[in-house]
Amino acid sequence: MLWLYLDFYQLTLDALEQTSDEKSARPCVIYQAEVNQIVQRNALAKERGIEVGMGMAQAAALSADLNVIDYKQERESGHLQMLACALYQLIGDIVVYPPSCLAIRLDPSIKFYDGLMPLWQALVTQLRQQKVTYHFATGWSIESAKVLAKAKTNAVFSDRSNIQKALQYCHLKHTDLSAKQISSLARVGIHTLRGLLALPATELGKRFDNALITYLTALRGEVYPHCVYFHPAEKFSQTIEPTYEISHTHHLMPWVRRLLDQLAIFLRLRNQITHSLTLTLYFREQEQEDFEVGSACPLSDAATWHPLFELLIEKLTLSEPVTAIGLSANTTEEMTGENSDFFSDRFHYFAKMQLIGRLQAKLGEDNLNKPDLTDDHRLDVIHPPHSARPLALPDRWQPLFIATNPIPLSKPSHIQFGPVRMQTGWWDGHYIKRDYFITQSLNGELLLIYKCSPEAQWYIQGWYS
């Protein structure tokens, strides 16, 4: 077996920064009052010297404009469920450990991604889209992967010898052993897993209870894990609790977008569509309010629902602050052949993620680019001199390879298509007037050439593949 353990150590803070730029522009901490400790802090708070584990008084003394958010385990567990739903599109063997950790079994799915690294890159891409920070590691059991993740190993191991070597350097504080057990082991000179794993079970049984023996066998991967795998709900109904009370309607939309993204994932996995959704606003004191949003045709994509909810929210007036936001699908139906629009616009998520994972693993993340849209037809503007890669496709006659600097045409060439007059750029001072032609040279090359006037020189702008 091969398990991946993900520790989202600042999940509440990540959820806050996704939806509120004004909050992330200030030093911000997540404070747990029960233990009087800072449990999460952003980069600005770190710059002020605030660290996790500090008390509230010390943190407030280091920053006068500190933004303090109360920690709620139920709220963070809700964010974790949404993360599990997002990753479920890629891999089904997920175990949820509230409030902020996930364990994912990798070995059954490796064959579908043609290797461990393409699978890992697909997961990384999804996590990057969710904009979360995390520590991770792989191990032969959930317990071993958890220890390595808690030790901030941040490595994907596939070989047992590498996992064993990494475990030996982990301190006992990163394990699930109690403080009393760690103290007892320290008295006999054992501070890391190197010494603990070297001891036979019979020796440990003389000094410790069965709980330690059971944990040690699980850590070594000698027993099959007893765990409950995650399964998304059959009906979509999600509630998200912001880390602050919302008093203005324009602050609602970022949270609604997150819920709509989860709805799109839910519908995609089940090949379903829906005609109507219900938005529920929970208030501090008064009863909740429900607002139904319907569509003339069934929809599944989040982007198509956004304008409808924006129109609803523009008309709302909040009588008091909103403490939580819920979204539910009233009815869903299976996709049929009558809904051709759905299939024409359908996003082939699995195929894309597998392809991206393989390319990133083989070529490296920095060497991967994708087409981008532009509203300008000038090739000199679309393709700046410092980049020879195509960034847009303004028209179907654009060649695949664009010359950063046009080259004078010096060989005979026969016109195959044209002319196409391009006369534009009057608004920014980069005015051009050119006649473009597609030509074929004597050796068979297809060229995009142009000239600025009947008597002007011909130039090569690009080549077709």
Cβ–Cβ under 8 Å, residues 143 and 153: no
For CA atoms 29, 34, 36, 39, the dihedral sign is negative
Average pLDDT by stretches of 10, the chain with 465 residues: 93 78 70 91 89 91 87 88 88 93 93 91 91 93 93 91 90 88 84 82 71 82 84 85 82 89 85 88 88 79 85 86 89 68 49 65 66 65 45 54 81 83 80 86 86 81 81
Q: Give the integer Cα–Cα distance in Å for 266 and 148.
A: 32
pTM (predicted TM-score): 0.68
Cβ–Cβ under 8 Å, residues 350 and 89: yes
DSSP 94-106: EEEETTTEEEEE-
Question: Alpha carbon of 338 to those of 199, 272, 274, 334: distances in Å?
Answer: 66, 13, 14, 11
Helix (H) or strand (E) holding 351: helix 349-363
DSSP 381-413: HHS-TT--S-----STT--SEEEEEEEE--S-E
In CATH terms, the fold of domain 237-335 is: Dna Ligase; domain 1 (3.30.1490)
Residues ≥6 apart with Cβ < 8 Å to 85 = 232, 262, 265, 266
Neighbours of 437 (CB within 10 A): 20
Can you tell me which residue has the tokens 């309607």?
A: 249
Question: Alpha carbon of 97 to those of 2, 53, 142, 146, 218: distances in Å?
Answer: 18, 22, 11, 11, 17
How much is the pLDDT for 118? Answer: 92
How much is the pLDDT for 122? Answer: 92
Q: Give the integer Cα–Cα distance in Å for 73 and 243.
A: 12
DSSP 335: -
Q: What angle do CA 214, 218, 219 make, to 5 degrees?
A: 115
Cβ–Cβ under 8 Å, residues 454 and 440: no
Name the amino acid, one letter, at 416.
Q
Whether residue 242 has a cis bond before it, omega within 30° of 0:
no
Q: Where are the alpha helices (DSSP H) in 224-295?
A: 253-270
DSSP 155: B
Give the β-pairing of 28-32 and 67-70. parallel
Name the amino acid, one letter, at 43.
A
Q: Where are the alpha helices (DSSP H) in 71-115?
A: 73-88
Residues of the chain with CATH 3.30.1490.100: 237-335
Q: Where are the alpha helices (DSSP H) in 199-240?
A: 201-207, 210-219
- Of 234, 236, 335, whose CA–CA distance to 278 is shortest? 236
